[in-house]
Homo-oligomer: A and B are copies of this chain.
Amino acid sequence: MQTIPTLADIRAAVLRIQPYIHRTPVLTGRSLNELAGASLFFKCENFQRTGSFKMRGASNMVFAATEEEIRQGVATQSSGNHGQALSFAAQLRNVPAYIVMPDNSAQVKKDAVVAYKGKIVECKPTIEAREATVEKVLADTKAYYVPPYNDYRIIAGQATAALELLEEVPDLDYILAPVGGGGLISGTALSTHYLSPRTQVIAAEPAGADDAFRSFYSGTLQGNDTTNTIADGLRSALREKTFTVIRQHVHQIVTVEEQEIIQAMKLVWQRLKIIIEPSCAVPLAAILAQKVENYKQKRIGIILSGGNVDFSTVASL
């Protein structure tokens, strides 16, 4: 798929991945609505298989690949949810998954990949080492490359979460998702554009890794010099394909501070009684910190992106 996914592409992804993913529930909570002064609808991808929306894009690529393409397995670089999702999708298709991870990755993240039968290939914790290692793995194994986000098939897979939400909850005024590399928000923006064009699409980003915010408002793709945020899923930067979709179909990008993220995460734990990870709390943080104009009394959809919390890092918050 070399062009921006059409609605037909997204619907094809729905049918393709349906046997391998959960249709996740949409939750609401009286006390959070009162606190926000708005009606919030949470699409719970924290309940998705492997604990995040990443399973949608990964399984879309894995099951769209031909037998010939995928026979030697799949490979990617990821220290997080994409690596777990790709490992599990590959396991479901009975091929090996090679996951390139920095050698300083948390043990809990390595354990998760291994639990889904992924094969970890360690590299030095630099971008250069990571890319060189991926190249070497691909050359050595002839595995099929499944990138974390900068691919229209990945974006079409991630788009299915918003599609399900919009089918279940019509008439949303806003829909929010976090932005890191941009796969989820791109898919969310496309589904919203096709199914509910009057709904405003808002990306929420940690101020400590605000490349998307700067890229969006400057019109030029920018990177992050530093990524100082607890939202470990959002440290990646946009690339061409996600930036292209975001420029066309996202209405606004807002940033939030670390304390706002932590507070929003804990509020969801306490009020909704569900586990979400820090990255996942960023859109709610944007609402509660009033970063979105004119949201009071509105109907707001929020994609809860994942629930893979490293409790050792959040226990002391």
Contacts and interface: CB of A to CB of B under 8 A. Distances in A.
B315 A273 contact: no
A87 interface: no
Given A266-B311, A311-B266, A273 B316 contact: no
A203 interface: no
A306 B292 CA distance: 34
A275 interface: yes
Contact of A274 (B266, B274, B311, B315): B274
A192 B71 CA distance: 51
Interface string A265-277: 0100110011110
Contact of A311 (B47, B51, B269, B276): B269
A46 interface: yes
A297 to B, nearest CB: 22
B273 A273 contact: no
| Total identical chains | 2
Sorting the interface of chain A by its residue count into under 10, 10 to 19, 20 to 34 or 35 or more gives 10 to 19
A307 interface: yes
Interface string A4-43: 0000000000000000000001000000000000000000
A309 B276 CA distance: 15
Contacts of A269: 275, 309, 311
Interface string A281-317: 0000000000000000000000000010101000111
Contacts of A307: 273
Interface in A31-84: 46-47, 51
Contacts of A25: 25
Nearest to A268: B275
A276 B46 CA distance: 16
A5 to B, nearest CB: 28
B311 A46 contact: no
Contact of A46 (B46, B273, B317): B273
Contacts of A46: 273
Most buried by B among A269, A270, A273: A273
21 contacts: A25-B25, A46-B273, A47-B273, A51-B273, A266-B311, A269-B275, A269-B309, A269-B311, A270-B275, A270-B309, A270-B311, A273-B274, A273-B275, A273-B276, A273-B307, A274-B274, A274-B275, A275-B275, A315-B315, A315-B316, A315-B317
